[in-house]
Amino acid sequence: MRYPQPTNPDVSGSSRHCEASGALVEAISLTAEVCGLALSSGAAKMLASDLADFNESAVLDALARCRMELQGPLKMPDILERIDDGRPEVDDAWTMMPKTESESVVWTDEMAQAWGIASPLLNAGDVAAARNAFKEAYGKAVLQARIKRMPARWMPSLGNDVASRESVLLDAVRKRRLTAAHVAQLLRAEATSPKMQEIFEQVKLKSLH
């Protein structure tokens, strides 16, 4: 059984509400019209207010995807599903999942939750059912997290393959999903590659300042 290790347990789901910009209101109104059903000014302002806690650039990018991908009334879940908040797209998330217990993974709460549902099906040999179950569970979990304004929380789940462990953790450091200091605590310095040794030295130097 894999036990995820939290990296930032003090993060809460609460957020400070921000005021929506006029540009966001206009983008929502125009996107709704392009998708097939115009919104009233009041409805567009309400949606913009509900989305104002998110990074505006990310919301505008999500609206651009809605214009390209949707046919029909624009709904809040359509926008939330397309906001880039650091969580992987569902297909990328599935690809990142460990194939065996020996492999390590750095994943989000939502990925771990979906994997708990999919892994019994995968162990039973039904890959297609496992993939479908993962995608459905992950999509629902991500949507709920965004509704609650919960930021992505990355955490490692370490297998017993040392080479895989180091590769996955180093990739997480490069992508700023884990800190170098945290990875240094997870790996024994004498068992790591020159690249990891370099990271450890950087951590030591920072701790001296």
Taking Cα atoms as reference points, which of 33, 31, 35, 40 lies closest to residue 59?
31
pTM: 0.78
Does residue 78 have a pLDDT over 60? yes
Q: What is the pLDDT of residues 168-209, one digit of tens each?
A: 998 999 899 999 888 888 876 555 667 666 666 665 555 544
Does residue 1 have a pLDDT over 50? no
Q: Write down the pLDDT at residue 132.
A: 97
Q: Write down the pLDDT at residue 16.
A: 44
Does residue 53 have a pLDDT over 60? yes
Does residue 34 have a pLDDT over 90? yes
Does residue 107 have a pLDDT over 80? yes
